Structure 1
Amino acid sequence: MKDVIVVGSGAGGATVARELSKKGVNVTLIEKGPFVKPKKAYEHYENSDVGVELLKTACVGGTTMVTAGNAVRTCQKRLKKFGINLEEEFHEAELEMGVGTLPDSHFGEGTLKIMAAAESLGINVQKMPKSINPNSCKPCGKCAFGCPKDAKWTSLEYIEDAKKSGTRVVENTEVTELIIEDGEVKGVRSREKEFYADEVVLAPGAVETPRILRRAGLDAGDNFFVDTFVTVGGILKGVEFNKEVQMNALIKKSDDVILAPHFSEILVEKLSSHGARTRDIIGLMVKIKDETSGKIREGSVVKYSTANDVALLAEGSALAGSILTEVGVDPNTLKSTHARGAHPGGTAAVGSVVDKNLETEISGLFVADASVLPEAPGAPPVLTIVALAKRLGKYLGQN
C-alpha cells in the first residue's frame, strides 16, 4: 500500500487523512502546531496585519478550532464549471458533522431582536446552519476562542478517526519545502527532518501553501482573498449579547454581502466614552466576497481593499446600522471595527495552479485547503473545504 504525507490538520488535511486511512493507505499527518484542547485554541492565534487584519491559528485542528461552527455550502456553482461536482460529498459531510440549525432555546435575546428587526425591514433572514451539538452547547459566546464544552465540530474528530485507522500524527513540525526528483514529489522537509512518501497533500492554509509551492518553482500565491469583514455595533443596555451563540442567523443582502449577529470586543473600547460595558454591546458582522487583490510571497502578505470592496462594506454597514437602529440601538453609538479577514484562500486556485483533481503540475503533489477555491466564498468555507477534501480522498484512494 502506498504512503501519503498530509501537511496541515485543519478541515482539508484532517479530512484527506481520514478518508485515506480508512482505505488502508499509510498516512503521516504533519502539523506545525501542538495538540491542544479546544478551549485553549485561542492561545494559538497567529494574526497578522496585511492591510486587513488576517485571522488564523496554528494547532492540531487548525482554524476549525476557532470558527463559529457555521456550515454552509459555498462556491458550488463555480466549482461545477471546473468539473467538480460536490453534491455527494456535501451530503456526506453534513451528516457526519451534524449540520443543522440550532433549536429556539439556543437563540438569545439580541439575536432574536436582530432577526425580527431585519424581517420588519423586509430583509430575508434565516437560521444559520451549524455543526454544533445543541445537547452539549451551553451558549457562552466563546465559539471563536475554542468551545469550552467541546460541542462544536472540529477536525479533531476526523483526526481521531484517522488515528484509529493507522494515521501517524506528527505535531510541532513545520514543513518548509518539498522533496522533488524528476518532476515527481518524493516527500517533504522540516527544519530537522525529512519525510518520504509516494504522494503529498498540502493543506497548511492559503498563506503557507503557496510559499511551499513557490519554493518548488510553481507560480502560486496570487489571487489572494480573505472574505473581508467588519463588525458594526452599538449600545443596547443589558442585552448580554456577548454570551450568545455567535452568527446564529444569516441575513443575505446579496451574493456579495452577508450579515450575521456578531459580538466584537473591539467595540467595547470604541464605545467606552459612552460608558459601554461588554454586556451592553450588540452588533452585526458585515462580510463581503472581496476581490482577489492580494499576493503571498516568501516574506510578505499583501491584501488591500479595492474600491469595489470598500463600496460593498459601506453598503452592508449602512444596512447593519438600519437594522440595529430598528432593534433600539441609539444611532449616535454606532461604531465599526477595522477591516479583518477570516477566510484566506485562492492562492493555488483550481484551473490555475491545480487541476480538477487538485493536483499540481508536479506529479503526486496535491492541495486540499482554501488555497484551491477559485473565488472568495463570501461565507464560511469549512464545509466546502471538507467536501473538496473528501472528493480528493476518494480519488487518491482509487489510485
Structure 2
Amino acid sequence: MNAIVVGSGAGGGTVAKELAKSGISVTLIEKGPATSTKKAYNHYDILNVGTEVSSTVCLGGTTLVTAGNAVRTGEESFKKLGIDLSNEFEELEDELSINTLPDSHFGDGTKKIMDAAQSLGLEIQKMPKFIYPDLCKPCGKCVFGCPRDAKWTSMKFIDEAEKYGAKIVEKTPVTDIIISDGKVKGVKSDDKIFEADIVILSSGAIETPRLLQKIGINAGNNLFVDTFVTVGGLLKNIKYNKEVTMNALIKLEDIVLAPHFSEILVNKLKKYKARKKDVLGLMIKIKDEPSGKVTQDNVIKFNTAEDVALLARGSAIAGSILTEAGVDPETFVSTYARGAHPGGTAAIGNIVDTNLQTEIEGLYVADASVLPEAPGAPPVLTILALAKRLAKHIINK
C-alpha cells in the first residue's frame, strides 16, 4: 500500500509520520518550500475576504507560526458524532510533553492580566503549551517562527516520517485528484502524476475544498474562522511584546480571552507616542457562525450580527480587565477583525464520514476543514488527535 499526503501542517505531518512508522509507503506533497522556523513569517499568505484570514505556505504549514497553544477543543461535540478522541488526546499530551509553562516564563503583563481577572471574579488559567521551557527564552516571536525551535511544529513529525522512509516533495502544488471507478488513484501537480492507493488531503480549509470541488464534491460551504480582535492600550514600559503570547486563558460561553500583543495596536496609538513595550492587550476570540464560503476563485467570510455581538461582549470584558490591570482606558484601541482558524468546509457528517473518508473510496481529509463547528479556541491539538485517529483507521484497515 502507498499513500499520498497533500499538505504538511498539523494534520498532514501527523498522518505522514504515523503511516510511515507503520511501514506504509508515504509521499508527502507540499505546495510551499522548506524554510527555517525563524524565517516562517516570510511565508504568510493573507486573504482579505471581509475578515482577514491568514495561513502559512511552507513545509510545516501554519504550525510554524502558531502561539504554541495546546487545548482540547470540541471533545463533547465529537462524542455526539460517535468519535471519541480521549485516547488520542492523552497519547499526544504524553508524547509532546504538553503542559503549562513554569512561573519563570510568565512576564509582568500576563501576571497583571491574570491578577486583574481574578480580582474581577473571572476564572483565568494558564494556557497548555507545545513549548519546551528548557529551550524557550521568552522573546515574543512565537507567531513569527520560534528562533530557538522551542515550540513543537509539524516539522518534528515530518522529520520523523522521513526517517521511517517517507518521501517529502516540496514546492509542488497539487492541482487535481485522480479518480477511477469511484476509487482514488493518485493526484496531479499540473502535468506530473503521483499514483497512490490512498490520498489524505491536509491542505487546510481553503485549498482542500477546492480540490474536492474539482472532482464534483460539494465542499466549501459553512466556512468559519474563529474571528478575533485584539483590544489594548497604554501601560508604560510593561514590555509585554517580549513575553510568551497567549500564556493564559479565560473561557466564556462562545468566547475566549487571552493576553496578546499586536503591532496594529502600537500603530493606532501613535498620537500617544507609544512604543511596542508600552502596550498591553487582550485577544477576544469567538466561536463564529459558519457564514463563509470557498469557491474556486473566491473566499467570502463576513461577520454576522451574532458574531459582532459576541466580539462586543468580549471587548467589554477585556476592557474591564485591562483597566483593572492599570491600562489607561482613554487609550483603548482595537485591531480589525481577523480569522485565526479557518475550518468547516469539508465537515464530518457532510463531506466526510466519521472515519474522515469522502464518498470516494480511499480519499480522506485530515485538517481543520473536517471540524463540524467552530472551536472558538486553538484547534491544533484536536487536528492532531483526528489525524492520529485516522492513521490508526488506515493502518487497521
- TM class by shorter chain equals over 0.9
Asked if 1:115 corresponds to 2:97, the answer is no
Q: Counterpart amino acid of 2:341? A: H
Shift of 1:253: 2.3
Give structure 1 stretches of 5+ with no counterpart: none
1:144-171 per-position Cα deviation (integer Å, ceiling 9, x unaligned): 0000010000000001110011100000
Shift of 1:252: 1.5
The question of whether the paired residues in 2 share the 8 Å contact of 1:6 and 1:28 is answered with yes
In structure 1, distance between residues paired with 2:199 and 2:379: 23
Give the alignment of 1:330-341 within 5 angstroms: 330-341=328-339
In structure 1, distance between residues paired with 2:332 and 2:167: 50
Shift of 1:398: 1.4
Asked if 1:314 corresponds to 2:319, the answer is no
Q: Counterpart amino acid of 2:200? A: V
Give the alignment of 1:1-399 within 5 angstroms: 2-254=1-253, 256-399=254-397
**Structure 1, 208-217 or 182-191: larger mean CA deviation:** 182-191
Q: Counterpart amino acid of 2:70? A: A
The question of whether the paired residues in 2 share the 8 Å contact of 1:247 and 1:261 is answered with yes
1:338-388 per-position Cα deviation (integer Å, ceiling 9, x unaligned): 000010000000000000000000111000000000000000000000000
The alignment's C-alpha RMSD in Å is 0.6
Say which SS state the counterpart of residue 222 (structure 2) adopts: coil
In structure 1, distance between residues paired with 2:321 and 2:28: 45
In structure 2, distance between residues paired with 1:384 and 1:268: 33
1:287-323 per-position Cα deviation (integer Å, ceiling 9, x unaligned): 0000000000000000010100000000000000110
Say which SS state the counterpart of residue 269 (structure 1) adopts: helix
In structure 2, distance between residues paired with 1:171 and 1:352: 31
In structure 2, distance between residues paired with 1:362 and 1:236: 56
% identical equivalent positions: 65
Moved over 6 A (4+): none
For normalisation by structure 1, the TM-score amounts to 0.99
Say which SS state the counterpart of residue 175 (structure 2) adopts: strand
1:233-288 per-position Cα deviation (integer Å, ceiling 9, x unaligned): 0000001100000000001222x001000000000110001111111000000000
Say which SS state the counterpart of residue 377 (structure 1) adopts: coil
The question of whether the paired residues in 2 share the 8 Å contact of 1:123 and 1:253 is answered with no
1:102-135 per-position Cα deviation (integer Å, ceiling 9, x unaligned): 0000000000000000000000000000010000
Q: Counterpart amino acid of 1:114? A: I
Shift of 1:192: 4.0
In structure 1, distance between residues paired with 2:29 and 2:159: 14
Say which SS state the counterpart of residue 5 (structure 2) adopts: strand
Say which SS state the counterpart of residue 132 (structure 2) adopts: coil
In structure 2, distance between residues paired with 1:80 and 1:209: 25
In structure 2, distance between residues paired with 1:4 and 1:17: 9
For normalisation by structure 2, the TM-score amounts to 0.99
Give structure 2 stretches of 5+ with no counterpart: none
Say which SS state the counterpart of residue 23 (structure 2) adopts: coil
In structure 2, distance between residues paired with 1:76 and 1:353: 20
Say which SS state the counterpart of residue 47 (structure 1) adopts: strand
In structure 1, distance between residues paired with 2:123 and 2:251: 6
The question of whether the paired residues in 2 share the 8 Å contact of 1:26 and 1:166 is answered with yes
Q: How many residues align?
A: 397
Shift of 1:83: 1.1
In structure 1, distance between residues paired with 2:331 and 2:56: 32
In structure 2, distance between residues paired with 1:315 and 1:192: 51
The question of whether the paired residues in 2 share the 8 Å contact of 1:226 and 1:290 is answered with yes
